[in-house]
Amino acid sequence: SYTTDTKSREENKNTLENLYSLSVDITKIRRLKEWVLLQDVAYVKEIAGILQEMGADEITVANIIERCPEAILHSPAEINSQRALWKLVCQNEKQLIRLIEQFPESFFTTEYQQNQKANILFFQELGLKNNIITRFLTSAPNIFYNPVEKNKNVIETLQRNYLNLGGSEANMKIWILKLLSQNPFILLNTPTAIKDNLEFLQKNDFTDQEVLQLLFKLKGFIFQLNSTTMQKSMLFSKNIFKCSDQELKQLVLKCPALLYYSVPVLEERLEGLLREGISIAQIRDTPMVLELTTQIVQYRIKKLSALGYDIKSGNLESLNGTKKDFEVTYGKIQSKEERPIFNPVAPLHIED
């Protein structure tokens, strides 16, 4: 625990001198986390030494400390323990220092080392590859702060529900690993929330197979929702598209975004499409267009219009997909527009 009372204290001169010697931009630290400079004890030289041992040059060391000043408040023993921990999943120290430079806050959170180690070993036993675990450590570090029993409990709940929904024992491991790889944040949910959301879908007449299909398409994000928001989103879609319960179910299976996005988000995206002259009937035929933000839709329509493609009279498939998908579609339309029309039976006009 560090004091953040900045009014009655002065900056630690020894800390400042050591930071200057490492060419650290102290104005950045003052602007971001001045309280670090007020602490009585700091391990500037020692932490810099450990980073240099791992292969960091002077610029890298300065960059890490500027981005995460509290690094210098950890003891060398704590940082060496964290170093040993991350080496369980890193190929070498070169990769480790690269990760620390990119994600210093994740590395220098050392309060949960016991939980971190237990969770790393659990994920390895589960069959997750080390490169996936390092991605979790950097982009979803808080899942490692949970006691390992909590994460095991969530995984067991997912496995049990997968089998109850008709999933096979043979495919279960692949399904779990894929789900975790796509969305590790499902581990922050409670087993009760997972059970409630699956029950909501079943009460809305989705078959077990369809629930599995939605879980696959939603990449586990369904577990971060709740039955109230899902109910509101479905009701909104039903009213907008003027469809029966069965038709709505088919629309949701086609476009799970109708279940996932809140009513205000769906409203905003729908209004954006209508402003572009697109009809409700077109959106109902291709609901996946609601997965795109209004800005992306406007950009894509503008690009297609420049080629003479009228989105209002065609279907919306050409707008769909990832950036890469759209670029492929755009390229095909562009080459079609540029291709000269050649009639093989038309007479050739050859000048004398």
User: 55-105 pLDDT, tens per residue?
Assistant: 999 999 999 999 999 999 999 999 999 999 999 999 999 999 999 999 999
Three-class DSSP category at 251: helix
Q: Could you tell me the CA-to-CA distances from 259 to 184, 227, 263, 281 in Å, in that order?
A: 20, 10, 10, 19
Q: Is 341 among the domain residues?
A: no
For range 98-123, the mean pLDDT: 95
How far out from the chain centre does Cα 25 lie? 31
Cα distance between residue 262 and residue 234, in whole Å: 10
The pLDDT of residue 341 is above 70: no
Do 86 and 99 touch, CB atoms closer than 8 A?
yes
* 89 within some domain: yes
Does a structural domain hold residue 47?
Answer: yes
Do residues 297 and 261 touch, judged by C-beta distance below 8 A? no
222 found inside a domain: no
Looking at this protein, which amino acid is placed at residue 317?
A: E
Residue 103 lies in a domain: yes
For residue 58, what are the domain limits? Answer: 10-110
Count Cα neighbours of 53 within 13 Å in the Cβ-side half-sphere.
10
The whole model's pTM is what?
0.77
What is the model's pLDDT at position 2? 54
In a domain, 144, yes or no: no
Read off the pLDDT of each residue in 2-26 and give the average, rounded to a whole number: 81
Point out the least confidently predicted range of 18-32, 97-111, 140-154, 334-348.
334-348
Contacts of 216 (CB under 8 A, 6+ apart): 175
CA-angle at 298, arms to 293 and 303, nearest 5°? 130
Both tokens of 293, joined, read 């933000």
86 within domain boundaries:
yes
The per-residue pLDDT of the chain, averaged, comes to 88
> What is the pLDDT at residue 260?
86
Mean pLDDT is lowest, of 46-50, 204-208, 227-231, 340-344, for 340-344
Q: What is the mean pLDDT of residues 331-351?
A: 60
Residue 145 has pLDDT above 80, yes or no: yes
pLDDT band at 337 (very low <50, low <70, confident <90, very high): low
Number of domains in the chain: 1
Q: Mean pLDDT, to the nearest integer, of 25-29?
A: 94
Helices (H), 54-126: 58-67, 76-86, 93-102, 104-107, 113-126
